[in-house]
Amino acid sequence: MKVTINDVARAAGVSIATVSHTINKTRYVSPELAELVYKAIEETGYKVKTDTHSNAMVPGKNSVVAFVVPNVTSTVYSKLASALSRIMLEKGYILAVYVTNDDESTERSIISGLMTNKRIAGIILAPISDKSASYKKLFRSVLPVVCLSRAVDGDNCACITSENTDGMYSAARHLIRSGHETIGIILDSGMQSAMKERLEGYCRALEEKNIQYNQKLVLRSDISMTERDFAAAFHNWYEVSRPTAVIAAGNQLTLMLMRALNNLGIECPRDLSVIGFGDEQWCSLVTPPLTVLEQDTDRLAALAAEELFREIGGEEPEYGRKDVPIRLNIRRSTMMIGKGPFGEQAHLPSEIVLSSEEKRVLRAGNFKVGISFHYSGNAWTHLHETAIRNTLENFGVTVISVSDAHFDPSLQLTQLEALAMQKPDLIIAIPVDDNVTSDKFRKLSRNTKLVFMSNVPQGLRASEYCTCVSVNESENGAAIGNIMGEYFVGRRNVKAGFIMHGVPFYGTHLRDMSAKREITERYGNIQIAAVGKFTTFESAYGECMTMMTEHPDIEALYVSWDRPALEVIRALKDMGREDVALFTTDLDLEIGKYLGAGQIVKGISSQRPYEQGVAVAMAAAKALVGGECFKYVALGPYGVKRENLLRAWKDIMHEEAPLPIERAMNSSDPLVL
């Protein structure tokens, strides 16, 4: 005789409805009753009829899941709603969205209506209050409830939230590591639990680095403010607190901040470094692309749905809180505050301004300038020289000599001696060796003004030279470290090798250490397995051979800059290890072809040599007329990947990408000409 659902109900001692809800998971059934039903099914031999279509609608009244949100204008909630809707449809439910507008009375009314609505299978709630007492009736009802995005206190409900504290900590720590100490934070006056946690993360980062918390650097705002009112409030706060960087602790706040900066003429990152909450698509499209904290909305939705289905299915709820990590996506809206050899704060080239009178004196002065390069056999120094000549000649200043020391400190000493005999008014130089050239430059400083590029020789006093102009090497190293780290996101136990410059050279050493620190502090999935040093370009080949032989499991290599990197590439190809991903600094034709072909080279952080040359010339011009100039001037680097190579080449080299680069982009062979 065929066993029916009535037989199962009698055997279990429950109603037919309870058996149906248990089998179809259409309503909450206590674990005790569900166990009786399943035992009766087994004993009677009842064949459970299941729908073979995974996305068929759940039969009966309880077919709707309510998503109660503060608003639908925020991208976070629209993304969560979209992700939840997909999940619900797959399980046979409909997602209905209810908007509270962050109004407590509206929220109470919505929840009361849902609790009496027999079509509602469960509620996913982004609560206005963080007090569980505000939702006492809801939590005591039989209706399954999960809090999402915002949490409530106590253990009366499962809460799925972003890891706000650690996320904000990572943002503040990034700015601190970039040299910022006066860091502002903009908080929403609502969202009490989330904002409290984000403030805690901010404070933890400050405390870790012994930076005193300053209440004046905290701006509390209301996202309902008009654009004009927010801009006025921000401007007043900015003028009083004078931060060098700011973090907007919410999506809407980020948009309001960027609009205010635009209206007030505050340039990012020149005047103010910015980190936002960036679940918005426009964050990567603005200029500069915005560094953001990104919430994993897909993961948040999946965990919330998983918990709700557990409760709908009659399983024991997992009360308490589950946090989803927030990812810091570093782009170009923050800059490092570089430090010169004597701890001077870096200034931007745009801050070097010549008055009309200074320009007149330059043109009438018949000044002569000599240039001493450490090496000039690449596009970098060619662009540098071109920019220096063009800028100085525009002021009537003559470049009388350009020498190339071929990385030989003894040769540079001889060349400097010859240059001094021509009695230049000023010498622009990149020292080959910090120690060997120190005495010579000190002697030259007695009769000639000095402007250094990249580095100041060891032991020179600030009074013995005019200015040092450099790429911001801390930022340069951090940028290439970040490119390497992001390349391996999602991978575990990646082994990396660092092949660094072994000659004492302040700028390169700073870059190498910054890249190393970026990997060790931010990317726990990457382990630096070996560190090698080269003294000449050619010796980088042997360092690579030795390192890869001793550590064959290395998958990534950092090399200080492009010329030794080409030797490392040659070694990798000779060893048949073209699977290794290489990251380096400075863009040139040969290294660019490898990047374009997608072979070995995966990322570059490049200086902007022409812009550096202009800055050097402006500093020299200021010094020639006796004007007061900054001791240290630094420029930000340019991150280059295969996807932006053609645009980067044009920006950096001031010309369209050459044919070999274009051909490499369409070939797997970088040697295509």
- Give the residue from 127, 250, 244, 243 showing the smallest Cα distance to 187: 250
| CATH class of the 64-162+299-325 domain in this structure | alpha beta
For residue 472, the model assigns a pLDDT of: 87
Residue 287 has pLDDT above 50, yes or no: yes
Q: Which amino acid would we find at residue 324?
A: V
Residue 122, helix vs strand vs coil? strand
Domains 164-294 and 473-607+637-665 alike in fold: yes
What's domain 164-294's architecture? 3-Layer(aba) Sandwich (3.40)
The tokens for 140 are: 């005591």
pLDDT digits over 309-326, tens only?
Answer: 999 888 888 888 999 999
Residues 177/475, Cβ–Cβ less than 8 Å:
no
Residue 342 has pLDDT above 80, yes or no: no
pTM: 0.64
Residue 54 has pLDDT above 50, yes or no: no
Q: Cα separation of 84 and 148, whole Å?
A: 11
Mean pLDDT of 63-91: 90
Q: Cα separation of 20 and 30, whole Å?
A: 13
pLDDT digits over 530-555, tens only?
Answer: 999 999 999 999 999 999 999 999 99
For residue 56, the model assigns a pLDDT of: 45
Residues 404/376, Cβ–Cβ less than 8 Å:
yes
For residue 606, the model assigns a pLDDT of: 94
pLDDT digits over 135-177, tens only?
Answer: 999 998 889 999 999 888 888 899 999 999 999 999 999 999 8
Positive or negative CA dihedral for 344, 350, 351, 353?
Answer: positive
pLDDT digits over 354-395, tens only?
Answer: 999 999 999 999 999 999 998 887 778 889 999 999 999 999
Task: Kindly report which listed range (104-113, 184-193, 340-349, 565-574) carries the lowest average pLDDT score.
Answer: 340-349
Provide the mean pLDDT of the chain: 89
Q: What are the residue ranges spanned by the domains of the chain?
A: 5-44, 64-162+299-325, 164-294, 349-471+611-635, 473-607+637-665
pLDDT digits over 435-486, tens only?
Answer: 899 999 999 999 999 999 988 898 899 899 999 998 888 889 999 999 999 9
For residue 419, the model assigns a pLDDT of: 95
Q: Cα separation of 548 and 533, whole Å?
A: 14
Residues 90/83, Cβ–Cβ less than 8 Å:
no
Residue 6 has pLDDT above 90, yes or no: no
pLDDT digits over 622-635, tens only?
Answer: 999 988 788 999 88
506-522 helix and 473-487 helix, angle to the nearest 10 degrees: 40
Q: What is the dihedral of CA 14, 17, 23, 29, to 10 degrees?
A: -70
Fold of the 349-471+611-635 domain? Rossmann fold (3.40.50)
CATH ID of 473-607+637-665, from 3.40.50.2300, 3.10.150.10, 3.40.50.80, 3.30.460.20: 3.40.50.2300
The tokens for 227 are: 């654009």
Q: Which amino acid would we find at residue 260?
A: A
For residue 60, the model assigns a pLDDT of: 46
For residue 61, the model assigns a pLDDT of: 52
Angle (nearest 5°) at CA 401 between 399 and 407: 125
Q: Across the strands, what pairs with 95? A: 65
Q: Cα separation of 351 and 619, whole Å?
A: 10
For residue 75, the model assigns a pLDDT of: 82
